[in-house]
């Protein structure tokens, strides 16, 4: 298989890339690692006139701390997350979750930001970023825009990025105080998309929940943020009853469909079970860190 | 578009359409047919090559993306007329049946041993989890990579041993 013909540009500067996007944004697909886009091109689900490869832009492969956030550049690959000591210390959830994404060879090419912008409802990073309250940094000729990931996903493979914009980074607020997270994923085999996955991130104030984030994978038209469940946890201690109620609310928020990976009812129940497990894991980890 | 890359240590150029995949460039333009096309959908790993030393799926990479970079294929594994440790491992432990997945498995194994010279069974299984063997020969593939790790460790020790022996003779 090979893609339909396209023009290819691989600019050496962001300015040049933004110029192309300003002129021909509607005809362009931006490519970083290409691990989602190239399969789509080969299947001819996507037939852009121009592929804009940002793979050679300088300074975009860094994971760094800035004003209370971790900033992940647009060319940071999944494998870079696996190897990041900074993230292992501050957001171990991400290092745990990355092992569930695709396979080691794909992780050597695919990028975090590219995956979020690809907006596959079965993508893992989307729900992780929803749970972590991250924001996408978008750049265009007219300047920089920060878009909360909550609201970024419009539908399957559709985001609020404008045709003249390119995502240059994602910013994740650093947890303050004791925190813990987890990523639970059910997949049929290594490299498969999730049947269901659930991301949990909880920050504590003493024994009480200061902020809970819950992201759901593969159970809707986009990655979903289980807001009612999050709200039910805020200010509460994580007793069994509180956990059960949050899990029930999260399952209610899920909108799965029957498919080869399972029935809708089954997937909803997996959400419920994973939220319970995830919250207990997160609590245990937050206590470990404190101890 | 003109592309130039180092393939197995030698500079290679070609004139390709942007839509040409790296695996097709290697097989059709450079006649390096050791890199196989299996699923053609980023699942099986038969098309694995090393890009700047890291294993990637060459069916999911455009030749133009690799311009100026370094590729190693199965044809580049042997060390002159000698088999590399990873090849000896697959030979000794019977790490293949039909052989279709073998180029990818060996390249993944070689890259793993570079990062982790003494991998556990689990490390090896994780490393090859993006490569499918349809003869179900995973047991022997794991053994083959372990065998190669031992060979490498012995070769690394050998010069030290020789030096020690030379020292003892004085």
How does pLDDT run across B65-105, given as a tens digit for each residue? 999 999 999 999 999 999 999 999 999 999 999 999 999 99
Return d(Cα A34, Cα B143) in angstroms, integer.
33
Q: Which CATH architecture does the domain made up of A7-53 adopt? A: 2-Layer Sandwich (3.30)
- Looking at residue A291, its pLDDT comes to 54
Mutate which of B56, B103, B134 to test chain A, going by most A C-beta atoms within 10 A?
B56
- Looking at residue A177, its pLDDT comes to 87
Residue of chain A minimizing CA distance to B43? A191
Mean pLDDT of B50-73: 98
The proportion of chain A whose per-residue pLDDT surpasses 90, expressed as a percent, equals: 96
Q: Which CATH architecture does the domain made up of A63-173 adopt? A: 2-Layer Sandwich (3.30)
Does position B165 have pLDDT exceeding 60, yes or no?
no
Domain ranges of chain A: 7-53, 63-173, 179-290
**B56 has a chain A CB within 8 A of its CB:** yes
Mean pLDDT of A61-89: 97
* B128 neighbors B138 (Cβ within 8 angstroms): yes
Contacts of A102 in chain B (CB under 8 A): 130
Is the domain spanning B2-73 CATH 3.40.190.10? The answer is no
Mean pLDDT of A90-102: 95
Asked if A105 lies within 8 A of B56 by C-beta distance, the reply is yes
Counted across chains A and B, CB pairs separated by less than 8 A come out at: 81
Asked if B65 lies within 8 A of A7 by C-beta distance, the reply is no
Is the domain spanning A179-290 CATH 3.30.70.260? The answer is no
**A53 has a chain B CB within 8 A of its CB:** yes
Domain ranges of chain B: 2-73, 85-157
- Enter the CATH code of domain B85-157: 1.10.150.120
Contacts of A79 in chain B (CB under 8 A): 54
**A42 has a chain B CB within 8 A of its CB:** yes
Asked if B60 lies within 8 A of A102 by C-beta distance, the reply is no
* A55 neighbors A75 (Cβ within 8 angstroms): yes
User: How does pLDDT run across A31-71, given as a tens digit for each residue?
Assistant: 999 999 999 999 999 999 999 999 999 999 999 999 999 99
**B116 has a chain A CB within 8 A of its CB:** no
Pick from A190, A82, A78: nearest CA to B130: A190
User: How does pLDDT run across A100-134, given as a tens digit for each residue?
Assistant: 999 999 999 999 999 999 999 999 999 999 999 99
- Please list the alpha-helical segments (H only) found in B9-119: 22-24, 85-92, 102-115
- Looking at residue B170, its pLDDT comes to 37
């Amino acid at each position: 298989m090979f893609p339909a013909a396209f023009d290819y540009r691989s600019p050496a500067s962001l300015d040049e890339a933004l110029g192309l996007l300003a002129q021909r944004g509607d005809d362009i697909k931006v490519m970083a690692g290409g691990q989602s886009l190239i399969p789509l091109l080969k299947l001819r689900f996507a037939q852009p006139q121009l592929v804009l490869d940002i793979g050679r832009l300088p300074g975009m492969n860094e994971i760094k701390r800035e004003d209370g956030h971790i900033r992940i550049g647009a060319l940071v690959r999944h494998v870079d997350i696996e190897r990041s000591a900074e993230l292992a210390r501050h957001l171990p959830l991400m290092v745990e979750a990355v092992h569930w994404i695709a396979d080691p060879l794909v992780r050597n090419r695919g990028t975090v930001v590219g995956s979020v912008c690809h907006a596959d409802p079965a993508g893992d990073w989307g729900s992780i970023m929803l749970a972590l309250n991250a924001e996408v940094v978008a750049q265009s000729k007219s300047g920089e825009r920060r878009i909360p990931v909550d609201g970024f996903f419009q539908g399957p493979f559709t985001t609020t990025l404008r045709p003249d914009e390119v995502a240059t980074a994602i910013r994740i607020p650093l947890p303050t105080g004791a925190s813990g997270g987890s990523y639970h994923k059910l997949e049929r085999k290594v490299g498969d998309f999730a049947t269901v996955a659930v991301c949990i991130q909880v920050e504590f104030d003493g024994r009480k929940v200061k902020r809970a984030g819950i992201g759901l994978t593969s159970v809707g038209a986009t990655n979903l943020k289980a807001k009612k469940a999050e709200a039910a946890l805020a200010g509460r201690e994580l007793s069994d009853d509180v956990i059960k109620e949050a899990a029930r609310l999260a399952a209610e928020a899920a909108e799965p469909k029957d498919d080869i990976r399972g029935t809708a009812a089954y997937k909803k129940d997996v959400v419920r079970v994973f939220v319970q497990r995830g919250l207990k894991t997160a609590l245990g980890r937050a206590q470990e860190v404190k101890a | 578009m003109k592309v130039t890359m180092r393939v197995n240590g030698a500079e290679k150029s070609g004139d390709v359409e942007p839509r040409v995949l790296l695996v097709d460039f290697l097989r059709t333009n450079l006649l390096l047919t050791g890199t196989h096309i299996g699923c053609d959908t980023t699942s099986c790993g038969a098309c694995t090559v090393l890009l700047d030393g890291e294993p990637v799926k060459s069916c999911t990479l455009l030749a133009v993306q690799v311009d100026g970079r370094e590729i190693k294929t199965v044809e580049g594994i042997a060390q002159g007329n000698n088999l590399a440790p990873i090849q000896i491992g697959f030979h000794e432990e019977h790490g293949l049946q039909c052989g279709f997945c073998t180029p990818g498995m060996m390249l993944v194994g070689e890259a793993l041993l570079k990062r982790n010279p003494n991998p556990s069974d689990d490390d090896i299984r994780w490393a090859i989890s993006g490569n499918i063997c349809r003869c179900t020969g995973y047991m022997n593939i794991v053994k083959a990579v372990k065998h190669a790790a031992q060979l490498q460790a012995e070769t690394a020790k050998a010069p030290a041993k020789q030096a020690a022996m030379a020292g003892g003779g004085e």
